[in-house]
Amino acid sequence: MNWLERLFEAQLTIGSSHILWREIVGNVFGFASAIGGMRRRVWAWPIGIIGNVLLFTVFFGVAFANPQHQTLYGQAGRQVFFVITSLYGWWRWQEHRKARGADAHAITPRWATARERMAYVGVWLGGVVIAQWVFATIGAEWPAPRWYFWCDAWIFVGSMLATYAMARGWNDFWLMWIAVDLVGVPLLVHAKFYPSAVLYAVYGALVLYGFTVWLKASRLERDPQPELTEAMS
């Protein structure tokens, strides 16, 4: 098992910074998943799950040692919920693809309805209030200012909702990710998780492009199985 341990603990050293290779690899899988999501391919979900598992071990420093000597509970916890939500998205897109054919896009994008939008905005705001209190109660295993827990809660809840919105095929999910990135990049830089911060910054550009791709598709395409979409809503 020694070689597995060495592989698990392998680091890239840049100057005085030490970066776990599993953080880099996990983010590469996450970026690949984002590209698959933009292209509306089912494989985006299992690829993303692999990245989530690797990143959980990076952020949950209290159990898995990391060079930063910090545990980001919100970042670690959202990887768990990413996996849960991704399993739902994987199932939903797979069912749609079975009905459409192997070469077809898994879903047809659309905007969330006014009722759906009001629901996710309410959940986001309420979830942030609850999550920041939970995170502050648990602590961060290092002296953290109060604003840190609010930021972590914003990222945690927003990421969950964005993943769910992607599973539903809502254009809104791209805008949710922009809102998450605006807080996530500075927070990750502050905590010295540089590969994740860089990925978030690059991902921001991909999000803007992906939004235009989905927006165009939602205007030009018609859902070939509206009854299936309605039944799975």
pLDDT at 78 > cutoff 70 = yes
Provide the pLDDT for residue 100. 77
| Mean pLDDT of all residues in 46-71 | 75
pLDDT (tens digit per residue) in 157-177: 998 999 999 999 999 999 999
Q: How many CB atoms lie within 10 A of CB 52?
A: 23
**pTM for the predicted model, two decimal places:** 0.81
Q: Which helix (H) or strand (E) holds 20?
A: strand 17-20
Cα–Cα distances (Å) from 200 to 47, 71, 195, in that order, read 17, 19, 9
Kindly report which listed range (10-24, 35-49, 104-118) carries the lowest average pLDDT score.
Answer: 10-24
pLDDT (tens digit per residue) in 113-157: 999 999 999 999 999 999 999 988 887 666 778 888 898 899 889
pLDDT at 40 > cutoff 80 = yes
- Across the strands, what pairs with 12? 19
Provide the pLDDT for residue 97. 83
3-state secondary structure labels for all residues of 50-91: HHHHHHHHHHCCCCCCCCCCCCCHHHHHHHHHHHHHHHHHHH
Q: How many CA atoms lie within 13 A of 83 on its CB side?
A: 13
In whole angstroms, what is the distance from residue 38 CA to residue 95 CA? Answer: 18
| Mean pLDDT of all residues in 106-111 | 90
Provide the pLDDT for residue 232. 57
Query: Is the dihedral angle over the CA atoms 10, 194, 52, 61 positive or is it negative?
Result: positive
Q: Is 105 helix (H, G, I), strand (E, B) or coil?
A: coil
pLDDT (tens digit per residue) in 190-228: 877 777 788 778 888 889 999 999 999 999 887 666 555
Q: Tell me the residue type at 49.
A: I
Provide the pLDDT for residue 8. 61
pLDDT at 91 > cutoff 90 = yes
Kindly report which listed range (67-71, 77-81, 84-88, 99-103) carries the lowest average pLDDT score.
Answer: 67-71
Band (58; pLDDT cuts 50, 70, 90):
confident
Cβ-defined contacts of 15-20 (< 8 Å, 24+): 17/67, 17/192, 17/194, 18/67, 19/67, 19/194, 19/195, 20/58, 20/66, 20/67
pLDDT (tens digit per residue) in 196-205: 788 778 888 8
pLDDT at 84 > cutoff 80 = yes
Provide the pLDDT for residue 115. 96
Q: Is 1 helix (H, G, I), strand (E, B) or coil?
A: coil
Decide: 154 and 183 in contact? Cβ < 8 Å. Answer: yes
Provide the pLDDT for residue 168. 93
Provide the pLDDT for residue 95. 87
- Across the strands, what pairs with 20? 11
In whole angstroms, what is the distance from residue 57 CA to residue 32 CA? Answer: 19
Decide: 141 and 61 in contact? Cβ < 8 Å. Answer: yes
Provide the pLDDT for residue 172. 96
69, with CB counted inside 10 A (0-12, 13-18, 19+), is exposed
Decide: 29 and 55 in contact? Cβ < 8 Å. Answer: no
